[in-house]
């Protein structure tokens, strides 16, 4: 059971890193340092793709956090 949560934690960690890097920079951060601030936004609000990316990122983050809690509980109470 612990192995299953460890594998799930590694997979969700990699996916979460990818999803965070896909987000558009809001300005003044690391994305501007590497040229992310050069692109101009043509739309006034966030697009459907950005909202879906936000939802997917939060969902994967919840799964990631749940894996950490489950691994902590399994490790603490295993004999």
Query: Does pLDDT of 70 surpass 80?
Result: yes
Q: 1 and 73 in contact (C-beta within 8 Å)?
A: no
Three-state SS string over 52-76 comes to: HHHHHHHHHHHHHHHHHHHHHHHHH
Give the mean pLDDT of 29-39. 59
**In this predicted model, which residue has the larger pLDDT, 5 or 23?**
5
Block residue for tokens 């590694």: 10
Cα separation, 77 vs 7, whole angstroms = 20
Two structure tokens written together for 36: 């992310």
Check residue 64 and give its pLDDT: 98
Gyration radius from the chain CA atoms: 17
Please state the domain extents for the chain.
Answer: 1-23+46-79
């Amino acid at each position: 059971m612990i192995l299953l949560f460890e594998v799930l934690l590694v997979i969700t960690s990699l996916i979460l890193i990818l999803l965070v890097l896909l987000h558009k920079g809001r300005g003044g951060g690391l994305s501007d340092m590497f040229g992310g601030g050069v692109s101009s936004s043509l739309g006034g609000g966030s697009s459907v793709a950005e909202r879906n990316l936000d939802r997917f990122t939060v969902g994967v983050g919840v799964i990631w956090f749940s894996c950490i809690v489950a691994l902590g509980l399994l490790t603490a109470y295993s004999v």
